[in-house]
Amino acid sequence: MTSSEAFNRFHAVIPAGGVGTRLWPLSREDAPKFLHDLTGSGTTLIRSTYDRLTPLAEGRTMVVTGENHRDAVIEQLPELQQSALVLEPEPKDSAAAIGLAAAILHRRDPESIMGSFAADQVIAPVDVFQEAVREAVVTAATGRIVTIGIKPTHASTAFGYIRVGDAHQIPGAPSARHVVEFVEKPSDEVAKQYSGSGDYLWNAGMFVGPVALMLKHLAATEPELHAGLTEIAAAWDTEAQDEVLQRIWPTLPKTAIDYAVAEPAADVGDVSVIPGDFTWDDVGDFAAIARLNPAAQQENMIVLGKQPRVYSEDASGVVVSDTQRVVALIGVENIVVVDTDDALLVTTTDHAQNVKKAVAALKKKGDSDVL
C-alpha cells in the first residue's frame, strides 16, 4: 500500500472534553480549556488543533465533544460538517469518546484509519508534528496502533512514559519503532532515569490506528463498552441515531483509552511509536501558561487578557485578566492571579498543580456556581 492510499483512509478525531480543572477559574465546566486562547496566539486551542490537522485530513476531521459545548465548538469551527460532529450526552471518559468515533468511522468504512489528537494541546513546529503523523499513518496502514511519543525535555512526573523497542523497517516511516510498554507517571527518581536513558518518550495520548484493530482490542478488554458503542454506531446516520445514543450512552462504563486499548495492544506487540521531535504542552496548569507566553511579558509579569490593566512592582509571575478591572501587584514573586467576573484565584507557579484540589473543595462547600 502506498502512502497516498493510506492517507485516503485516514480520519482525524479530536476528542474535546475535560474541564481543565487546574486552570480554574479561567477554565470552567461550561467554558473548558480547549475553548480558550491560552498561548496568546489569537486562536483557541481547539481551533489551533483543527488547523494543525487540516493538511493531513481536510474534510475528514471529526470532533467528539459534550452536547453542552455544541454551540461553542461550531462557533470555533464553522466549517465542520454535521456528520463530523459527535455529541456526547454526558462525559464518559476517553475510551467511550474515541471508541464511538472509531465505531462510527468503521460503520462508514471498515478500512478507516483514525488518529486521535486532544483538543487542548500546544505543539510547535507544526510541520514537524505533521511529518510525525504522516509516518504514523503509514505505519498504522501496516496493521498497527501507533502512538506519537514526545522526546523528554526534562524529568517530568506529570506524564506517563513509553518504553521504546527496536526499529521497524517500513517504507515511508523511517522513525517507526516498536513499543515495549506504556508506563505510568513515575516518581522523581524514576523520571530522571527515564528521561536520561533515551529509551523512553512522553506519552502524549496521540493514537493512530486502523479502526478495526482498535475496536478488536476494545472488544477484548471492554466487551460491554464495545457492545454499546457498536449498537450506537449501527444506528448512526439513520433516524434512530439520537434515540439510540440517548438510551445507550448513559449506561456505558467510564475508562481511559490507554487502559481499554493502548496498553493491552502493547502487551501483545501491536503498538508502534513515532518519536516526535517537536515541543508539546498539554497546558496543564498556570505554570504552563507562564511558560508558553513569553511574548506577553510586561517586565517580569506574564499578562494575558483581552484588555488587561495590570500594574506591577517588584512582582513576577502570571496574571490572567478576564475582566476590565485594574489589577495591582506589589512585592509578590512567582504569583499567579486569575481574575474573572465571579471568581478570583491567587496562588504561585509552584502551587499551580494544587488548583485542582481547590476546585474539589469549592464543589464540596457548595460553591458550584463558579466551577
Separation of alpha carbons 15 and 86, rounded Å: 9
DSSP 312: E
| Pick 88 or 322: Cβ nearer a copy of itself | 322
Residues in binding contact with a copy of itself, number by CB under 8 A: 37
Extract the C-alpha cell encoding 166: 527496536
* Binding window for a copy of itself (CB under 8 A); candidates: 88-96, 210-218, 261-269, 351-359: 351-359
240-279: contacts with a copy of itself (CB under 8 A): none
Q: Which residues contact 22 (CB under 8 A, 6 or more apart)?
A: 284, 285, 286, 352, 353, 355, 356
Residue 135's Cα: distance from chain center in Å?
Answer: 20
The nearer residue to a copy of itself, 297 or 368, going by C-beta atoms, is 368
Q: Is 331 in the site for a copy of itself (CB under 8 A)?
A: yes
348 binds a copy of itself per the rule CB under 8 A: yes
Residue type for 139, please? Answer: T
- Output the CA angle 39-320-332, nearest 5 degrees: 120
Interface positions, 8-47, toward a copy of itself (CB under 8 A):
24-25
How many CB atoms neighbour CB 362 within 10 A?
17
* Span from 81-89, 222-230, 260-268, 332-340 in contact with a copy of itself (CB under 8 A): 332-340
Confirm or reject binding of residue 370 to a copy of itself (CB under 8 A): yes
345 lies in the site for a copy of itself, by CB under 8 A: yes
Burial class of 4 by CB neighbour count within 10 A (0 to 12, 13 to 18, 19+):
exposed
d(CA 52, CA 54): 6
For a copy of itself, which is the closer residue by CB, 87 or 344?
344
Instruction: Pick out residues in 309-328 that bind a copy of itself (CB under 8 A).
Output: 309, 311, 313-314, 324-328
The contacts found for 190-198 with CB under 8 angstroms, 24 or more apart, are 191/155, 191/156, 191/157, 192/155, 194/152, 194/155, 194/161, 195/152, 195/154, 195/155, 195/156, 196/155
3-state secondary structure of 165: strand
Pair 337, 368: CB distance under 8 Å: no
Nearest approach in angstroms of CB 291 to a copy of itself is 18
Select from 164-172, 227-235, 244-252, 331-339 the region that touches a copy of itself (CB under 8 A): 331-339
Tell the smallest beta-carbon distance from residue 283 to a copy of itself (Å).
Answer: 18
Query: CB-wise, 221 or 348, nearer to a copy of itself?
Result: 348
- Judged by CB under 8 A, does residue 360 bind a copy of itself? no
In the bound state with a copy of itself, the residue whose beta carbon lies nearer, of 31 and 343, is 343
Task: Compute the C-alpha angle 132/133/139, nearest 5°.
Answer: 95
Q: Does 347 bind a copy of itself (CB under 8 A)?
A: yes
Q: Which residues contact 306 (CB under 8 A, 6 or more apart)?
A: 321, 322
Choice between 238 and 324, CB closer to a copy of itself: 324
Q: Which of 167, 126, 155 is nearest to 276 (CA)?
A: 126
Q: Check: CB of residue 225 under 8 Å from CB of residue 251.
A: no
Site for a copy of itself in 282-311 (CB under 8 A): 309, 311
Cα separation, 309 vs 246, in Å, equals: 46
Least distance (Å) between residue 335 CB and a copy of itself? 6
**The one among 5, 127, 184, 350 contacting a copy of itself by CB under 8 A:** 350
Binder to a copy of itself among 42, 187, 307, 330 (CB under 8 A)? 330
Q: Minimum distance from CB of 40 to a copy of itself (Å)?
A: 21
Q: Considering the complex, state which of residue 76 and residue 347 has its C-beta at the smaller distance from a copy of itself.
A: 347
Q: Where on the chain is the footprint of a copy of itself (CB under 8 A)?
A: 24-25, 309, 311, 313-314, 324-332, 335, 337, 339, 341-348, 350-351, 354-355, 357-358, 361-362, 365, 367, 370
